[in-house]
Amino acid sequence: MKNLKYVMLFFLSLTLMVSCEEENYEFGDITAPTNLQVSAEIVGLDATNPYGDGTGVVNFTATADNAITYKYSNGGSQELAPLGTTSLSFTTQGVHTYTVTVIAIGTAGNSTSTTIDVEVFADYSPPADLTEMLYGDGSKTWRVKAETTGHLGVGPADAVTPDWWAAPPFDKVGLGVYDDRLVFNSDGTVNYITNDTAFGQSGPMDQDFGTPWTANPGGEYESYPLPNFDDTWTLTAPGGQETLSFADKGYLGFYVGGNHSYQILERSATEMMLKIIGTDTNAWFVILTSEEEAGTDYTLVWADEFDTNGAPDPANWTYDLGTGDDGWGNWELQNYTDNAENVIVEDGFLKITAKATGNGGYTSARIKSEGLQEFTYGKVEIRAKLPSAEGTWPALWMLGANNETVGWPESGEMDIMEQVGWDKSRTIGTFHWFDNGTNAGASYGESLDVADTATEFHIYGIEWSAASIKITVDDVPVVTLTNNPDFPFNADFFFIMNVAMGGTLGGDIDSAFTEDSMEVDYIRVYQ
């Protein structure tokens, strides 16, 4: 309820417009590629190592006249290489000769092919802790670590961190990223569980996956219908760099094409940070974890269902009364009371009613669980219907339990829901704290379009852990803050529910205002 600060991925398609009249269209010559040339560079090949350094990696380069893209085929696995260059890993122990078919593809699917033989030595044996990390006893399941900053990112090709962009927590909710799962198997296979949707750059996805279907037609990024599928994986270490390669799509939550080989930049028993060079020649990053998201299994620890008529349960709620200093610090115009006309539990709902007094004043109520019901971490759901009148400022929020001792904003504040007085089609989620670096108060918030807030109940929620705090409406994220030990959001907080009149976010009050209410069906806390 304090002042806010809102901190607010080549596919070229040709569409034929066919009329009822016959017309002739000229598309130019349809010509098969010619002069296909392929070269192979075995990594580590020298006078001492005539078949390479043992990593089994070979870099290929193909050129042809009139070629649009290239495809490499080896032992049943195929890989597209739009620019003609790719790296293939051969992992059978010892020196072996492999035949690689290279296809140059031109207009209308016309193609030319050739083969090249490479004799390669492979003796790389991945360390036991690496294979243990990937598949363990066979029960490990990997996912994109959505809750951490930089779980997706991009930078220049030589970068080892996402220098240009690092995704905030849960940045791609609803796009087919966070529900994907991978299971690595000891036989070199991997199972992809995509839940029928993949997300990534439109160009590489349209080119590699087939006929496009986009959620963002003509856009740089798209959601794509990709059923569950299986693939094979190999581990190599060219130049000492541990590398995870896939024979087919190499889809790890966000598709950027490339040679489907990921450098393992960092790893622990349950997490790894990977880097791939995409079709666009940029470095793309992804963080995978084999741990399920913290807080997915909750138990109800406290609730008020507001099912007993009368005053709010005194075991759960007390009151802020009066006008506060400077209208509770926001130039609000109401006087808070504990009168039944302003706050009552009735017919299964808590009703907080703001009323005009008839003499230019207003009364309302502000109840709080301070000293009664206080919590650190968990998931909160508050089902509520909001007032519609211009000038009303409803809020469902949390304040640090040490507020009386350290003051605000040092105590921290988490606004699960606020709504301005002049726009009843949006709600706001905000965090407030004291920033030691700038020696000043700091805020971070976002808003979300929410229809029918005054006529329909919605669930206003917060998921709060030591790693992140996410505010939602009907499970749709509004804003997510990466938590850290320096923030005040790692101790007990209590709840506040109120309807203010006017002030900073209430604005001008409708001159015809008489009264309006916020109704709360329940508040539930899970941990």
211 CB neighbour count, 10 Å cutoff: 5
Q: Tokens 């070199």 correspond to what residue?
A: 188
> 434-444 burial, b for 16+ CB within 10 Å, e for fewer?
beeeeeebebb
Alpha helix segments (H runs only) across 338-446: 403-406
CA distance 336 to 366: 6
Measure the CA angle with vertex 332, ends 330 and 338; round to 5°: 120
| Helix, strand or coil, per DSSP, at residue 14 | coil
CB 382 within 8 A of CB 397: no
CB 89 within 8 A of CB 269: no
| Encoded amino acid at 157, one letter | A
Active site residues per annotation = 413, 418
Q: Which residues pair with 368 in a beta bridge?
A: 318, 496
501 CB neighbour count, 10 Å cutoff: 25
Tokens found for residue 278 = 């995409």
Q: Which residues pair with 277 in a beta bridge?
A: 283
**How many angstroms from the chain centroid is the CA of residue 44?**
40
Residues 6+ apart with CB under 8 A from 3: 330, 443, 504
| Encoded amino acid at 513, one letter | F
CA distance 134 to 268: 10
**366, 370, 371, 375 alpha-carbon torsion, rounded to 10°:** 140
Give the DSSP letter of residue 231: E
CA distance 499 to 417: 11
CA distance 107 to 83: 15
| Encoded amino acid at 303, one letter | A
CB 289 within 8 A of CB 326: no
| Encoded amino acid at 178, one letter | Y
Give the DSSP letter of residue 133: H
CB 120 within 8 A of CB 42: yes
Q: Which candidate, 191, 188, 278, 275, places its Cα nearest to that of 235?
A: 188
Instruction: Assign 3-state DSSP to the chain and report helix, strand, coil percentages, each to 5.
Output: 5, 45, 50
- Whether omega before 409 lies within 30 degrees of 0, making that bond cis, reads yes
**How many angstroms from the chain centroid is the CA of residue 223?**
14
CA distance 260 to 217: 25
